[in-house]
């Protein structure tokens, strides 16, 4: 992999750039390299991820400070965990509003400055390997702190079970006038006594005990795109916790996808790697193997005669789709191995002995073989 680029360079900003300069630069680069704008363009996709990572760090004051001090080699390893930055699913719409800010704020457990916003939630969800080929519609059921279903978040048993809040006189908010230098500034906050409703519960709801919120099971449906990778995060806007105040914004739910391992494939992005253990006869004579494949068609691997263990055979276009369900697919690479039977019958042993004798006549002398091999090694 190429040397990791400097985050400031990635975003094209000066080291001392202000938050808003960084944000604007990110926004315009993200629009330019967004996968929706560049379907099938792997380079743009890599760029998009690189920009995201740089922005995740530089938009967070603490992380930015650490980066300024240590660069990429900070003590404690990657701030994104052992697997490094995995990228986030930002819709193109988010890049017009401020929708992307809250996506990044959750990386390091920070919060947006809107303190009444409900918490964001992160859950991990495992999908079968086949989902990385076909994509899938999935559904989870989780318990989330939501406005109580019994009282609709009011907290009272019946409609009249509350009285005007004395702290805010029923306005639901409190205005504070404070002096900032020579200026008078009005700060408006939601009343904490009544959670912004202007009412105090006198006869609390039996389900939420007057709190207005309760843990409730919710079903979340979502789409997993073909090409999904381990660690991909799906963002479900407004599916997180309800705000502790009545009018506050609901948090988001992030679903982090774990892809189950395949019985024989190792994965490198859209490319698949497998070992193909063959008998000596198959390697010498060549063969065509046919294996059931993840794309529901038979995968044919043609092994040429005279193949050696350790050689590889690639079948292009039969790997996984690249991320985001783009029609281009990776390759399958098979590494040839030699498999020797553990047990031999007497007749098989005799036949092999016979083959050995015949073969020895075809091969150069042992000494020549040894020196030929040494020569070819030195050439390489």
- Residues of this chain that interact with Zn ion (CB under 5 A) are 148, 150-151, 165, 167-168, 191, 193-194, 205, 207-208
Q: Of the two residues 131 and 148, which places its CB atom closer to Zn ion in the complex? A: 148
Supply 28's token pair. Answer: 């315009």
Q: Write the secondary structure of 191-216 as one string of H (helix), E (strand) and C (coil).
A: CCCCCCCCEEECCECCCCCCCCEEEE
Q: Of the two residues 18 and 192, which places its CB atom closer to Zn ion in the complex? A: 192
Q: How far is the CB of 168 from Zn ion (least distance, A)?
A: 3
Q: How far is the CB of 145 from Zn ion (least distance, A)?
A: 12
- Residue 54, helix vs strand vs coil: helix
Rounded to the nearest 5°, which phi and psi values hold at 188? -105, 125
Q: Of the two residues 210 and 319, which places its CB atom closer to Zn ion in the complex? A: 210
Q: Of the two residues 191 and 301, which places its CB atom closer to Zn ion in the complex? A: 191
Q: Of the two residues 168 and 336, which places its CB atom closer to Zn ion in the complex? A: 168
CB distance 209 to 148 below 8 Å: no
How buried is residue 97: exposed, middle or buried, by Cβ count under 10 Å (0-12/13-18/19+)?
A: exposed
Sign of torsion, CA 157 160 166 167? positive
Q: How far is the CB of 327 from Zn ion (least distance, A)?
A: 49
How buried is residue 292: exposed, middle or buried, by Cβ count under 10 Å (0-12/13-18/19+)?
A: exposed
Q: How far is the CB of 250 from Zn ion (least distance, A)?
A: 17
Closest CA to 9 of 27, 22, 28: 22
Whole-angstrom distance, CA of residue 332 vs CA of residue 311: 14
Whole-angstrom distance, CA of residue 297 vs CA of residue 219: 34
Local structure of residue 297 (DSSP, 8 states): S
Q: Of the two residues 106 and 242, which places its CB atom closer to Zn ion in the complex? A: 242
* Bridge partners of residue 278, in order along the sequence: 338
CB atoms near residue 280 (< 10 Å):
14
- Residue 235, helix vs strand vs coil: strand
Q: Of the two residues 173 and 233, which places its CB atom closer to Zn ion in the complex? A: 173
Q: How far is the CB of 144 from Zn ion (least distance, A)?
A: 15
Q: How far is the CB of 170 from Zn ion (least distance, A)?
A: 7
* Bridge partners of residue 156, in order along the sequence: 204
- Residue 372, helix vs strand vs coil: helix
Whole-angstrom distance, CA of residue 146 vs CA of residue 241: 6
Q: How far is the CB of 171 from Zn ion (least distance, A)?
A: 7
Q: How far is the CB of 240 from Zn ion (least distance, A)?
A: 19
Axis crossing angle, helix 42-58 with helix 61-70, rounded to the nearest 10: 100
Q: Of the two residues 166 and 304, which places its CB atom closer to Zn ion in the complex? A: 166
Q: Of the two residues 58 and 194, which places its CB atom closer to Zn ion in the complex? A: 194
Whole-angstrom distance, CA of residue 191 vs CA of residue 246: 10
Q: How far is the CB of 110 from Zn ion (least distance, A)?
A: 28
């Amino acid at each position: 992999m190429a040397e990791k680029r400097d985050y400031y360079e990635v975003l094209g900003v000066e080291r001392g750039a202000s938050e808003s300069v960084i944000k604007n630069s990110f926004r315009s680069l993200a629009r330019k390299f967004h996968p929706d704008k560049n379907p099938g363009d792997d380079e743009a996709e890599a760029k998009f991820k690189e920009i995201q990572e740089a922005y995740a760090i530089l938009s967070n004051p603490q992380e930015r400070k650490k980066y300024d001090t240590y660069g990429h080699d900070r003590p404690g390893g990657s701030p994104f965990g052992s697997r490094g930055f995995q990228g986030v699913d930002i819709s193109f719409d988010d890049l017009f509003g401020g929708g992307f800010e809250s996506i990044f704020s959750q990386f390091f457990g920070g919060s947006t400055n809107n303190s009444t916003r409900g918490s964001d939630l992160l859950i991990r969800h495992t999908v079968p390997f086949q989902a990385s080929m076909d994509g899938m519609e999935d559904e989870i059921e989780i318990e989330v702190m939501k406005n109580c279903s019994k009282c609709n978040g009011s907290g009272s048993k019946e409609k009249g079970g509350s009285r005007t809040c004395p702290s805010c006189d029923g306005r639901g908010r409190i205005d504070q006038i404070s002096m900032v230098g020579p200026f008078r500034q009005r700060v408006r906050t939601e009343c904490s006594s009544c959670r912004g409703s202007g009412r105090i519960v006198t006869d609390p709801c039996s389900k939420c005990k007057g709190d207005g919120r309760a843990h409730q099971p919710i079903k979340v449906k979502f789409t997993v795109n073909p090409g999904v990778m381990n660690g991909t995060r799906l963002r479900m806007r407004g599916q997180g916790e309800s705000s502790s105040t009545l009018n506050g914004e609901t948090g988001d739910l992030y679903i982090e996808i774990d892809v189950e391992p395949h019985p024989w494939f190792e994965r490198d992005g859209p490319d698949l790697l497998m070992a193909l253990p063959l008998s000596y006869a198959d390697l010498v004579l060549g063969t065509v193997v046919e294996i059931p494949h993840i794309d529901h068609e038979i995968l044919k691997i043609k092994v040429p005669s005279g193949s050696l263990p350790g050689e590889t055979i690639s079948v292009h276009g039969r790997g996984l789709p690249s991320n985001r369900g783009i029609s281009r697919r990776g390759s399958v690479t098979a590494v040839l191995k030699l498999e020797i039977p553990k047990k031999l019958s007497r007749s098989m042993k005799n036949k092999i002995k016979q083959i050995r004798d015949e073969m020895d006549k075809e091969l150069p002398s042992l000494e020549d073989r040894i020196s030929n091999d040494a020569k070819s090694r030195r050439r390489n």
